[in-house]
Amino acid sequence: MTGEPTTLTGLEKLLATIKGYPDPRRASAEWKQAYKLLQKTPLPPARASHVVGMRDVAGLSGLIDQLRAPAAAPAEVPDTETCRRALRAFRKRLSLTVLDEESKLGHSPLTKGSEASVAAIIPPGEWPEAVWQELVRQGKLRCIGHGFYELTK
């Protein structure tokens, strides 16, 4: 599933190191490295965050197995109409978030207030993760991690 064999090898080595600890939850540096490697994979960011945050050795092993196994059948690919509607909702939510941020009263009166703009948002929850992954695959969105997506330029 992952295009980088070095990522999978690195995760396997980190898992072996973590399992070598008497208390695997104490392997902070290894968990941080595992998280960085998991961010490079196509796994859902929320799932990777949960496994690392909970210091779940069995969950990490499951993620590695999932990466090692070839994708048998791709998940249900959303149709173009669904992707189009989801992208329209994403753009609308992004524009509303930007307007909300720019209308804050806390900005200094000596500045324009438009220097810091919202770059990424968590997409609307009405559509499943597969829709957002398909839009990333099409190049219309970019996943920046932790469930946040931004429009491509």
Q: What is the pLDDT of residues 19-28, one digit of tens each?
A: 999 998 899 9
Predicted local distance difference test score (pLDDT) of residue 13 = 93
Predicted local distance difference test score (pLDDT) of residue 46 = 82
Q: Which amino acid is at 114?
A: S
Q: Which two tokens stand for residue 104?
A: 């804050």
Q: Which amino acid is at 102?
A: E
Could you tell me if 37 and 52 are in contact, meaning their C-beta atoms sit under 8 angstroms apart? no
Q: Where are the domains of the chain?
A: 5-68, 80-151
Residue-wise DSSP of 91-121: HHHHHHHHHHHHT-TTS-TTS-S-SS----B
- Return the minimum-mean-pLDDT range out of 48-57, 68-77, 137-146: 68-77
For 54, 81, 118, the CA distances from 113, given in Å and listed in that order, are 39, 37, 12
Predicted local distance difference test score (pLDDT) of residue 32 = 93
Predicted local distance difference test score (pLDDT) of residue 12 = 93
Q: Which residues pair with 143 in a beta bridge?
A: 149
Q: What are phi and psi of 145, to 5 degrees?
A: 105, 155
Predicted local distance difference test score (pLDDT) of residue 109 = 67
Q: Which amino acid is at 61?
A: S
**pLDDT digits 0-9 by tens, 104-151:** 766 666 666 555 577 899 999 899 989 999 999 999 999 988 889 999
Predicted local distance difference test score (pLDDT) of residue 77 = 83
Does pLDDT of 101 surpass 50? yes
Does pLDDT of 51 surpass 80? yes
